[in-house]
Amino acid sequence: MTVDLAVGHLRASMPPSPSPSPGGKATLVTVDIVVLVVYFVLVLGVGFWSMWRTKRSTVDGYFLAGKSMTWWPVGASLFASNIGSGHFIGLAGSGAAAGIGAIAYEWNGMLMVLLLGWLFLPIYIASGVTTMPEYLQRRFGGRRTQLFIAILSLFIYIFTKISVDMYAGALFIQLALQWNIYLAVVLLLSVTALYTVAGGLAAVIYTDAAQTVIMLAGALTLMGFSFAEVGGWNALMEGYANAIPSIRVPNSTCGIPRDDAFHIFRDPVNSDLPWPGVLIGMSIPSMWYWCSDQVIVQRSLAAKNLTHAKGGSLLAAYLKILPFFAIMLPGMISRILYTDDVACADPELCKQICGNAVGCSDTAYARLVMELLPAGLRGLMMAVMIAALMSSLTSIFNSSSTIFTMDLWKTFRTSASEWELMIVGRVFVLVLVVVSVLWIPVVQASQGGQLFIYIQSISTYLQPPVSIIFLMGCFWKRTNEKGAFWGLTVGLLVGCIRMLLDFIYPAPLCYEEDERPAVLKYVHYLYFSIVLSLITLIVVVVVSLATEEPKPEQISRLTWFTRFDPVEPKEQVFTVEGSIRISEAVTSQMDEMEITGTEGEGSNGNACHHRKDSTSSVESSVQSQSMLMSALCWLCGMERRKEGENNLVTPPVPEETICSLIEKPRLRIFVNANLIISLSVTAFIIGYWA
């Protein structure tokens, strides 16, 4: 099993230490720089345009884009959030090192994103939640499971996703521009943080849509150049098997392409990706990422209704077909064209070529960009890599900010005003930027060996228990808080033990004897994923059955079978300190929203109007604001009352969170027909390459 194989949704091995491009000194010229400048102007333009369009001064407006997104930006953002710069480096590197096996993660994701749209989203929408930890709190009661998942999610985001994507993107920039890696990262993070802090989720989603177009245009262009250079499809099939480096370690398998390179389903015992593990062990952590991870689900929750959310899932599923052709196959072609460099098999030689004794397959994609593309298109591909990096980082920043603000800060500051939550959410993004920069030396020092195993372990061993908790909470009404908490605790404990062993005993190289403990040597990580899921499932079921049943309010509108339950009326009193004069326009708007102190429409439970927790009393001593402060307040969407109006901040009109599961019949038939088409396409491509 090659250490270049990507695991779970991270699918990216860490790039080697910085070094000049092997064999060539091609760098960007003036026309490439112009293309990059145009790209940055476009992204900032889209970001500021989205800021003008959306209301950013409320919790729903900032964190859920006001629930106003249509299907196409939602789908494009799902795709862009998933495809990071580590994707281009790692997926192409996996193709160069071991064939098409790792594409199973992509095509598994096609199934899981459809599962999100048709099974999980109706439950999340009916419950009216903003974050996934918040869903667990409502479903199970108490706070410990919510805090557990919130802290775990932030840990995974900061120490895996951010570090992998940021370092891979920065290395690519350094290769092309010869810039200092810190300068490259600080520049990118500054632009990224600007529209993430200012525009909230709406700006992130719209810029993601623009980034998707750029990524696909650039990646498909490079694919065309790659196939033209290698001589077409047949040349790829024949050439890959013969792409053996001239210098190898004697009497070893180093540098020899796999016999099953063009198969997804491989030997169940001795291969790098056993097919039972691909079918089951891969699906369970993938379910966590696509169906219960805040980064992904938050985009779908921003859709204006369930039909648009389903449409977004469909678009993302169709787009997931493309990485095979646009990223993985070019990585395999790079091995054919630059065999001695990309597929180097002698540790000392690899160290000279790319600074990494483990191998240089991670340079496959960058090598194609710098060697094959003419001036101008190199700049476009730089924009593609930056787009991949920025779309992933903005998604992580925004979702991390949402979890920290709504699940952690609000837990300890129960009386926090909406104004305070807006400020905390924006400041936490800046904290993440600083953490990202400070994390670079750790990633850099690892040189791609030990840290990748650490990242691989986190993604493989921490996700299955979380998947089981959400699965049981959504689809088994008897699951209670004790069962969920102890199932999660035991599952994570077992996963951490295996993760620690993996970190202590790394996988041997191709010329080394495997002397690891039996649990590592004979139990593939995908098989361990299955075992870990079963352990968690057993604990959840046994503890839940041995303890009290959940309360009715912990089930109603919170499971698949109760999503249509009627909404219980609740008294909601809106108070402010002092007397606040509300204009006639605001009063009429409130009348239209029928704010009468009750929630719910009708008895069928198909819709609910759940008002988010509005600011209680927000008093400000703002008198004469400087122009600078006014500009900053506008930039951040923090709207204040003008001077002379009692010097008070008008409480924002309570937001409606539409929880309707009603779909227009014709549109429902259309998306369901597309669901069948998408599933058929997925089954065909998996079956064809199996």
243-247, 390-394, 555-559: range with highest mean pLDDT? 555-559
Which tokens sit at 515?
Answer: 């002397």
Q: Say yes or no to pLDDT of 26 above 50.
A: yes
Q: Say yes or no to pLDDT of 612 above 60.
A: no
Q: Distance between CA 256 and CA 250 in Å, rounded?
A: 12
- What pLDDT score does 542 carry? 97
Average pLDDT over residues 624-645: 52
Average pLDDT over residues 36-45: 83
- Asked whether the beta carbons of 557 and 567 are under 8 A apart, the reply is yes
Q: Say yes or no to pLDDT of 551 above 90.
A: yes
Say whether 611 sits in a helix, a strand or coil: strand
- The b/e string for 351-369 (b: 16+ C-beta within 10 A; e otherwise) is bebbbbbbbbbbbbbbbbb
- What pLDDT score does 482 carry? 95
- What pLDDT score does 398 carry? 82
- What pLDDT score does 585 carry? 39
- Superfamily for the 8-461 domain: Sodium/glucose cotransporter (1.20.1730.10)
Q: Distance between CA 363 and CA 339 in Å, rounded?
A: 12
- What pLDDT score does 117 carry? 94
Which tokens sit at 409?
Answer: 């800060």
Q: Distance between CA 420 and CA 615 in Å, rounded?
A: 9
The DSSP-derived string for 51-74 is: HHHS--SSHHHHHSGGG-B-HHHH
Percent share of the chain, pLDDT over 70: 76
**Domain regions of the chain by residue span:** 8-461, 616-650
- What pLDDT score does 94 carry? 86
> In this predicted model, which residue has the larger pLDDT, 87 or 281?
281
For 110-131, give the secondary structure using H, E and C: HHHHHHHHHHHHHHHHHHCCCC
- Residues 6 or more apart whose Cβ sits within 8 Å of residue 558: 123, 126, 127, 135, 138, 139, 473
Q: Distance between CA 60 and CA 611 in Å, rounded?
A: 10
Say whether 2 sits in a helix, a strand or coil: coil
Q: Distance between CA 195 and CA 203 in Å, rounded?
A: 6
- What pLDDT score does 599 carry? 37
> In this predicted model, which residue has the larger pLDDT, 288 or 65?
288
Average pLDDT over residues 583-604: 38
Average pLDDT over residues 306-329: 94
Q: Report the chain's terminal Cα–Cα distance, integer Å.
A: 18
Q: Say yes or no to pLDDT of 118 above 50.
A: yes
Q: Distance between CA 604 and CA 606 in Å, rounded?
A: 5
Q: Distance between CA 30 and CA 378 in Å, rounded?
A: 11
Q: Distance between CA 554 and CA 571 in Å, rounded?
A: 19
88-92, 177-181, 543-547: range with highest mean pLDDT? 543-547
- Per residue in 195-244, pLDDT (tens digit) is 677 667 777 888 888 888 888 999 999 999 999 999 999 999 999 988 88
Average pLDDT over residues 577-603: 38
Strands (E), 464-612: 609-611
- Per residue in 252-308, pLDDT (tens digit) is 777 788 888 899 998 888 888 899 988 998 899 899 999 999 889 988 998 999 999
CA torsion angle 212 163 403 310 (round to 10)? 30
- Residues 6 or more apart whose Cβ sits within 8 Å of residue 271: 1, 260
Q: What confidence category does residue 495 fall into, taking pLDDT thresholds of 50, 70 and 90?
A: very high
- What pLDDT score does 444 carry? 60
Average pLDDT over residues 475-480: 95
Q: Are strands 609-611 and 656-658 parallel, antiparallel or unpaired?
A: antiparallel
Q: Say yes or no to pLDDT of 436 above 90.
A: no
- What pLDDT score does 598 carry? 38
Which tokens sit at 328?
Answer: 């993985």
φ, ψ at 261 (rounded to 5°): -60, -30
Amino acid at 645: E
Average pLDDT over residues 172-192: 73
Q: What confidence category does residue 97 fall into, taking pLDDT thresholds of 50, 70 and 90?
A: confident
Which tokens sit at 669?
Answer: 């038939």
Q: Which candidate, 75, 11, 114, places its Cα nearest to that of 324?
A: 11
- Per residue in 381-415, pLDDT (tens digit) is 888 887 887 778 888 888 888 899 888 998 888 88
Q: What confidence category does residue 628 fall into, taking pLDDT thresholds of 50, 70 and 90?
A: low
Whole-number Cα distances in Å, 394 to 66, 372, 465: 18, 30, 27
pTM summary value = 0.80
Q: What confidence category does residue 659 fall into, taking pLDDT thresholds of 50, 70 and 90?
A: low
- What pLDDT score does 171 carry? 67
